[in-house]
Amino acid sequence: MGEHLGRRYHRLFGPDKRSVIVAMDHGSTEGVMKGFEDPGKLLEQVVAGGADVILTTVGIARHFSKELSTISVMIRCDGATSPLLERPRELIVDAETVLSLGAEAAAAMYFPGTANGHGSTIYFPQLVAEAHRWNLPVMAEALPYGFESHKDSHETHAVAATCRMAAENGADIVKTFYTGDRESFRQVVSSCYVPVLALGGPRTHQDADFLAMIRGAMDGGAAGVVIGRNVWQAAHPTAMTRALVALVHHDASVADALQILHDVA
């Protein structure tokens, strides 16, 4: 697993080569979101829950370095859009900045199939080329059609093709949609030669449904998860993080993961 990438890469995973990444990068393009009003408090909660990595922004990495001192960090490198003016994403953070923050990895979008995100298929390999000169791993958020509503966005072939293209363009890790069942997701994982992590997406109203999705992704061969809103919009972010750690690192059942949530309710 990524032997050529060195220590930074291996700090993104546990000894079992799996990872629970909590995404806290939303503020750079969305501003203030429910559950994400106090980054410092939230960081303390998810670190206490046992997360392996925090995916975040330059601002949070710089201003909350104490809270991040015991956990691996991945920096979001693209953005430049917002609810105030939606525009194509651009690369806005370079590898040198990521390294100056002491982070272990960089991350950027890879959106084939969308007119508004076509630039990502150009700037992503450029980021990879720069990052790899410093042995800095890069994660691709590989989403067919990006965030646009498209009937095939979660279709197995489209997701598998997008993940493979991201890997071929230098991604060391891929974050992508869960395709709905473990068998189809196994096809995505088996055709991509870098670790595939399942994303969480918008807050799921039923915790059981969300945890069942994670169990399905892990049973389909995922190397872990990248979860944002379903952690920090949960009633108890620390408990939700612990539930994810149980599913990812200890192969817990959905019932066992739910019990972790119920124990603090």
- List active site positions: 175
- Which position has the token pair 């104490």? 66
- Which position has the token pair 């939606």? 86
Among 192, 173, 170, 56, CA closest to 122: 170
First to last CA, the chain: 39
Q: What are 247's two structure tokens?
A: 């599913």
Say if CB 77 and CB 91 are below 8 A apart: yes
Say if CB 91 and CB 126 are below 8 A apart: yes
CA 132 to chain centre: 20
Say if CB 127 and CB 171 are below 8 A apart: no
Say if CB 22 and CB 46 are below 8 A apart: yes
